[in-house]
């Protein structure tokens, strides 16, 4: 199923894309690093499963990803720029009562947005553990190595698979490096802001962002759904969309 992108301008003039499917209550879903809305949510049926449950599913392509622009000027990448972009999309669509979620980087961005004052009714954090929020610096260093090793990595290197994914997704390395530098840590005390009902949905073999169980234990109102797969494969599973739809309709 192909869904054509729609475009809007962020506050700094960068043109950003989003796709949507379905009718009903709005739920905004943010994809993971080096992915896009099409691959993360549409291709494997997750968006359709949530839409079929009675929701308007809104899926932006984050800055530097998919159909959104990837500027090379550092001033387009202030701290938490993806939160600013999300705020601008919410304003552009005039959303006042909505649910919010994301996978991996999308989960980090959703969390940062709530810490900054956004108030979705419900929150969905996919592929995320406590270390992925509080210990971003270590994870960020890995992805900076991915970019540095882009032309030289060999099969078997720890950066190899991420580099192949970047190449498949046609990610702009210069813009990606700038974007990585805009990410900030979410300390455990900041998580007190996540007071709304929260779904943690994580692959049973996914420890890429630390322990989802640890994250569930520190959130005020969280439930954990474990689905098949690793960090990369869990987004391809029908259980991802089923878990999100079940949470939103409970």
- List Cβ<8 Å contacts ≥24 apart for 141-148: 143/33, 143/176, 143/180, 144/177, 144/180, 147/173, 147/176, 147/177, 147/180
pLDDT at res. 140: 84
| pLDDT confidence of residue 210 | 93
Whole-prediction pTM: 0.97
How do the pLDDT tens digits run along the chain, 250 residues long? Answer: 789 999 999 999 999 999 999 999 999 999 999 999 999 999 999 999 999 999 999 999 999 999 999 999 999 999 999 999 999 999 999 999 999 999 999 999 999 999 999 999 999 999 999 999 987 777 888 999 999 999 999 999 999 999 999 999 999 999 999 999 999 889 889 999 999 999 999 999 999 999 999 999 999 999 999 999 999 999 999 999 999 999 999 9
How long is the chain?
Answer: 250
Per residue in 138-192, pLDDT (tens digit) is 788 899 999 999 999 999 999 999 999 999 999 999 999 999 999 988 988 999 9
Q: What local confidence, expressed as pLDDT, does residue 138 receive?
A: 79
Supply the pLDDT for residue 201. 98
Distance, in Å, from the CA atom of 167 to the CA atom of 150, rounded to the nearest integer, reads 9
Q: Is 151 exposed, middle or buried (0-12, 13-18, 19+ CB in 10 A)?
A: exposed
pLDDT attached to residue 135: 79
Domains and CATH numbers, the chain: 6-249 (3.40.50.1820)
| Dihedral over alpha carbons 125, 131, 135, 140 (to 10 degrees) | -70
């Amino acid at each position: 199923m192909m869904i054509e992108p729609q475009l809007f301008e962020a506050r700094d003039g960068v043109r950003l894309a989003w796709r949507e499917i379905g009718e009903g209550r709005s739920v905004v879903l943010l994809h993971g690093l080096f992915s896009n809305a099409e691959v993360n949510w549409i291709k494997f049926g997750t968006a359709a499963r949530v839409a079929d449950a009675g929701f308007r599913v809104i899926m932006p392509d984050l800055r530097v990803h998919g159909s959104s622009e990837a500027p090379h000027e550092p001033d387009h990448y202030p701290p938490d720029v993806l939160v600013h972009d999300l705020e601008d999309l919410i304003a552009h669509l005039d959303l006042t009562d909505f649910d919010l979620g994301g996978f991996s980087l999308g989960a980090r961005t959703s969390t940062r947005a709530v810490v900054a004052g956004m108030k979705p009714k419900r929150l969905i954090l996919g592929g995320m553990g406590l270390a992925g929020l509080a210990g971003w610096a270590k994870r960020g260093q890995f992805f900076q190595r991915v970019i540095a090793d882009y032309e030289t990595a060999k099969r078997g290197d720890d950066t190899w698979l991420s580099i192949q994914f970047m190449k498949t997704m046609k990610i702009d390395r210069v813009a990606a490096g700038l974007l990585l530098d805009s990410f900030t840590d979410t300390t455990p005390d900041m998580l007190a802001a996540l007071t709304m009902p929260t779904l943690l949905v994580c692959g049973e073999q996914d420890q890429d962002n630390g322990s989802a169980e640890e994250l569930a234990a520190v959130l005020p109102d969280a439930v954990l759904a474990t689905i098949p797969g690793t960090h990369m494969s869990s987004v391809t599973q029908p259980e991802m969309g089923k878990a999100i739809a079940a949470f939103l309709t409970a």
